[in-house]
Amino acid sequence: MTTAQTDEEIQAKLDELSDDTPTNRITGLVYWIALIYGAIGILVAMNQTFSWDPFGYVLVDNSYFYLLIGIFLPISFLVFPARRKDDNHVPFYDWILFAVTLVAALYLSYHGSDMVEQGWDIVAPPTPTAMAALICFLSIEAVRRAGGTALAIIVTFFFTFPLWTDSAPGFLWGVGQTPLELVRSHAMGFESIIGVPMRVAGNLLIGFLIFGSALVVTGGGEFFMSFATALMGRSRGGPAKVAILSSGFFGSLSGSVISNVVTTGKLTIPTMKRVGYPSVYAGAVESCASTGGALMPPVMGAVAFLMAEFLNVPYATVMIAALVPAMIFYIALLLQVDGYAAVNGLRGMDEKDIPDLWETFKGGWYYIASLVALVYMLVALRWDLYAPYYASAILVVCSFLFRKGKRRFNLKTLAELIVDSTKIISNIIAILAGVGMIVGALAFTGVGGAFSRELLQVAGDNLYLLLAMGAVTSFLLGMGMTVSACYIFLAIILGPALINAGLDPIASHLFILYWGMLSFITPPVALAAVAAAIIAKADTMAIGVRAMRLGLINFILPFIFVLNPALILRGEWQDIILMVSSGMIAVVLMAAAFEKYLYWLGEIDWTIRAPLLVAAGFMLYPGTLSFFISVGIVVACYAYGFITKRAKS
């Protein structure tokens, strides 16, 4: 087998895992449809955001959302194949699905006012009922193509749930519906297909997806990789630190774990292996770093926007709350790879492969400037709706004025930006239209609230039992759903139970998100580890187990911040300072214990590693007394270490 054949097989396996839209169908007529429809859809979204109303006609909400569905959902049938063997061409039935979806969605958009004024979600004429049924079934097929078969099965189950819930036992009992009532409620009500998930996509998310695409097509990914290399490449174990930083940057903007592994891992994993990191360790580092990227502000993927909508708070509030846990996670990763490099004598990258920091910064400072502008507009100005569009404009203008070479912004780049944005938006619209039916079914039947009450009853007054049940539920659902779908489902059934138990609302929802994400690095599923194993040419299970150890802090952090919200910057400033500083110290101690290396002492054995883990536990436990107990243990460890080293010398 030749090297070229091996590379092709690796790429084919990565394509199967990746949740990105296949690009080999976007040629010819499909390309022009994606370009033209995408441009129209983006202009429609911007018009709704900025209220330009050039024709003096204001779209009511459901007309607007169905117009978006009518633009982007049909495209999903052209770019997402029904079967793997259709990757390179669009069969005739996909064109039929494209046309039918277009007609049905635009019909419902045109009659948006009639839906509200005449109550079509309850009783409707035959034609709109038929269109509603078409949209329901087409949405299920679209979510299968965009989100996978497992998610489509879950969506189908909940779509049909109201048909038999009135015969279900216990807390699963709910208000039943006939088939006609079912499709009307799902398609023409405000709680299902055009419910909370679609409202978030239409009102808020599209702008951020465009900003992420603008960064990619103007060369932002290459800049952040080069910038991370210039910063960390010379340090011991430099490639692993480059992988962590670049995956953090990329993951925050894309919000996609697998895309992060596939995109950055192709460069970082081979580089780590070249300087001496074993294949398993290299794959585990990339898996963890990519998983954490989706939890890293400022963008955090689609979930953070959904969270802001569910909690009815500004997006900046969610972003600020998520900042410290994400920083702690990445500091823990950096410390562990540094300790591993110190113990094993690993060097940095070759000097010839490291770009000059100042030259790198000069060549792409506007990427950082656009991110700073985005954060400022989100946090200081609270321009949640407008910020991503303004930040995208800053980036595009700067790229045109200052960028040189093929990545300079021009008409070709503009077309690439529109097509790339269209692919991503179509992906999101397809998934959220299907996931919205889960939300709708739980709302129609009333089972969502009943499930929350049942959880509280089972847990009784035991808060720790409730959190354990929530963690297990989030983890298991995270195996079969996309991150967004898992979060939406649990925000409805688990979120209220945690909040009613007296926990902080934002901390409760972050708890759900974190545990839903952990399935990406935890066997048996561990999709991030699977993708990394393909690139690293190593055992998937071994990478998953190693990734679990590297990412152990992420298993602990959710319990800490849900029980003590000071870690997510909520509470009195004294408590916040104590909890954040304790968290930072704890990860230093944990990293030292895991990697057998303690700063200023060097390599250590179990007689010091075990007490350090105990000290880390005390440091993470809230309270001044536990803080000083931990400090005492650390001082004792250093004293013992210096004495034993002197005795040996």
Three-class secondary structure of residue 603 per DSSP = strand
pLDDT score recorded for residue 2: 42
b/e sequence 558-581, b meaning 16+ C-beta within 10 Å: bbbbbbbbbbbbbeeeeebebbbe
DSSP sequence for 613-637: HHHHHHHHSSSHHHHHHHHHHHHHH
Burial of 150 (0-12, 13-18, 19+ CB in 10 A): middle
The residue-averaged pLDDT of 121-141 equals 96
| Cα 145 to Cα 152: distance, rounded to the nearest angstrom | 8
- For residue 551, give the DSSP letter: T
Nearest to 493 by CA among 441, 431, 430: 441
| pLDDT, tens only, 472-500 | 988 888 876 778 888 888 888 889 999 99
Given a contact cutoff of 8 angstroms between Cβ atoms, the answer to whether 299 and 252 are in contact is yes
pLDDT score recorded for residue 22: 47
The residue-averaged pLDDT of 440-467 equals 86
Domain residue spans of the chain: 10-189, 572-649
Q: What are phi and psi of 597, to 5 degrees?
A: -140, 120
Q: Where are the alpha helices (DSSP H) in 503-600?
A: 505-517, 527-536, 540-550, 552-563, 573-595
pLDDT score recorded for residue 8: 61
| Cα 421 to Cα 411: distance, rounded to the nearest angstrom | 15
pLDDT score recorded for residue 648: 78
Packing angle, helices 411-445 and 126-147, rounded to 10: 110
Weakest mean pLDDT among 14-28, 232-246, 596-610: 14-28
| pLDDT, tens only, 356-399 | 999 999 989 999 999 999 999 998 998 989 999 999 999 999 99
b/e sequence 614-633, b meaning 16+ C-beta within 10 Å: ebbbbbbbeeeebbebbeeb
> What separation in angstroms does the CA of 134 have from each of 13, 102, 128?
34, 11, 10
Total count of residues recorded for the chain: 649
| pLDDT, tens only, 72-120 | 999 999 999 998 888 888 999 999 999 999 999 999 999 999 998 999 9
pLDDT score recorded for residue 1: 37
Task: Look at 452 and 597; give whichever has higher pLDDT.
Answer: 597
Token digits of residue 592: 């030292």
pLDDT score recorded for residue 16: 63
Q: Which helix (H) or strand (E) holds 605?
A: none
Q: What is the CA radius of gyration of the chain?
A: 25
Q: Is the pLDDT of residue 70 over 60?
A: yes
Q: Is the pLDDT of residue 255 over 80?
A: no
Share of the chain above pLDDT 90, in %: 63
Q: Is the pLDDT of residue 406 over 70?
A: no
Neighbours of 264 (CB within 10 A): 29
| pLDDT, tens only, 317-333 | 999 999 999 999 999 99
Three-class secondary structure of residue 510 per DSSP = helix
Torsion of CA 251, 422, 83, 129, to 10 degrees: 120
Both ends of the chain: CA-CA distance in Å? 54
pLDDT score recorded for residue 588: 94
3-state class percentages of the chain: helix first, strand second, coil last, to nearest 5: 80, 0, 20
Neighbours of 591 (CB within 10 A): 26
Three-class secondary structure of residue 598 per DSSP = strand
Token digits of residue 155: 């969506």
Task: Look at 101 and 167; give whichever has higher pLDDT.
Answer: 101
| pLDDT, tens only, 510-532 | 999 999 889 899 988 888 999 99
Q: Which amino acid is at 506?
A: I
Q: Is the pLDDT of residue 278 over 70?
A: yes
Give the bridge partners for 602, in sequence order.
598
Q: Where are the alpha helices (DSSP H) in 56-91?
A: 61-79
Given a contact cutoff of 8 angstroms between Cβ atoms, the answer to whether 383 and 316 are in contact is no
Given a contact cutoff of 8 angstroms between Cβ atoms, the answer to whether 305 and 203 are in contact is no
pLDDT score recorded for residue 18: 59
The residue-averaged pLDDT of 4-32 equals 67
| Residue 50 C-beta-side C-alpha neighbours within 13 Å | 14
- For residue 597, give the DSSP letter: E
Share of the chain above pLDDT 70, in %: 95
In the numeric block, the tokens 């903007």 are attached to 253
| pLDDT, tens only, 377-387 | 998 998 989 99
Q: Is the pLDDT of residue 5 over 50?
A: no
Task: Look at 144 and 459; give whichever has higher pLDDT.
Answer: 144
Q: What are phi and psi of 395, to 5 degrees?
A: -65, -45
Nearest to 329 by CA among 606, 561, 578, 635: 561
pLDDT score recorded for residue 147: 87
pLDDT score recorded for residue 452: 83
| Cα 285 to Cα 92: distance, rounded to the nearest angstrom | 44
pLDDT score recorded for residue 260: 86
| pLDDT, tens only, 602-617 | 999 999 999 999 999 9
- For residue 52, give the DSSP letter: -
The pLDDT mean for the chain works out to 89
Q: Which amino acid is at 225?
A: M
| pLDDT, tens only, 217-240 | 888 888 999 999 999 999 999 999
Q: Which helix (H) or strand (E) holds 493?
A: helix 483-493
